């Protein structure tokens, strides 16, 4: 493999499922491999690129549309793009797949009771009390991927194991070079 191919790792799942944590661990494990990688994360992107959008279905669609454009540019120019977004609608995720290079949908899955227990921001408590409208998994739907490329179960795997599963698949597909572990 002479030149890195671009790719998009699209992590979808409920708030608190572990998307950001796994993305950061994956990048940590890949550090030192001389790869071109960028991380796009829901909270970070909402502070800058999509700060003007709310959480209605239409605004969520626009949010992912803008992110898709960035991921498309990065991936077609040989950059591995690690994306962490709730992205609750399958049609929207399918749109990302159709418009980016070497797309892999990763379902970061944890039961609702587990993500509620993990919730350090208190968002689920507020959503259950009706204080946050359009909250995915409570008052707004989450369409779980029916055929994700990778299905992680973060209530059963360590963060390190989940990240390694993604890296192993990238290596298997020839998107990053295989590194023999000592």
Q: Which of 63, 87, 70 is nearest to 8 (CA)?
A: 70
Choose among 75, 54, 52, 61: nearest CA to 6. Answer: 75
Reference 121, options 5, 27, 42, 4; nearest CA is 42
List the catalytic residue out of 15, 75, 87, 162: 87
d(CA 144, CA 180): 34
Cβ(53)–Cβ(67) under 8 Å?
no
Mark whether 87 is an active-site residue. yes
For residue 73, how many other CB atoms are within 10 A of its CB?
A: 13
**Displacement of CA 51 from its chain's centroid (Å):** 19
Instruction: Give first-to-last CA distance, the chain, whole Å.
Output: 21
Show which residues are catalytic.
Answer: 87
């Amino acid at each position: 493999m002479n030149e890195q191919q671009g790719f998009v790792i699209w992590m979808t799942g409920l708030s608190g499922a572990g998307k950001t944590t796994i993305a950061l661990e994956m990048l940590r494990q890949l550090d030192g491999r001389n790869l071109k990688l960028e991380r796009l994360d829901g909270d970070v992107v909402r502070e800058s690129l999509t700060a003007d959008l709310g959480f209605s279905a239409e605004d969520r669609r626009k949010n992912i549309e803008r992110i898709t454009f960035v991921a498309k540019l990065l991936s077609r120019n040989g950059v591995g793009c690690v994306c962490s977004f709730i992205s609750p609608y399958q049609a929207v995720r399918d749109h990302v797949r159709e418009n980016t290079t070497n797309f892999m949908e990763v379902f970061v899955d944890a039961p609702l009771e587990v993500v509620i227990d993990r919730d350090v921001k208190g968002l689920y408590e507020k959503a259950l009390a009706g204080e946050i409208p359009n909250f995915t998994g409570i008052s707004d739907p989450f369409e779980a991927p029916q055929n994700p490329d990778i299905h992680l179960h973060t209530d059963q795997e360590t963060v390190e194991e989940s990240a390694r599963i993604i890296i192993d698949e990238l290596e298997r597909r020839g998107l990053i070079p295989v590194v023999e572990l000592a």
